[in-house]
Amino acid sequence: MSETTIRPAHPADADRLTALIQASSAYRGAYSAMTDGYAVAPDYVERHEVRMAVDAGDRLLGFYALIREPAELDLMFVADEAQGLGIGRQLIADMLGRAREAGIGAVKVVSHPPAEGFYLQMGAERTGTRPPQVKTPWEQPELRFTV
Q: What is the structure's pLDDT at 63?
A: 98
Domain boundaries, the chain: 5-146
CA distance linking residue 38 with residue 53, whole number of Å: 20
Q: Does domain 5-146 have CATH number 1.10.1200.30?
A: no
- Coil, helix or strand for 88? helix
Peptide bond before 70: cis, by omega within 30 degrees of 0? yes
Please provide the DSSP assignment of 106-125 as one string. EEEEE--GGGHHHHHHTT-E
pLDDT of the chain, 147 residues: tens digit per residue? 569 999 999 999 999 999 999 999 988 888 888 888 899 999 999 999 999 999 999 999 999 999 999 999 999 999 999 999 999 999 999 999 999 999 999 999 999 999 999 999 999 999 999 988 877 788 899 999 999
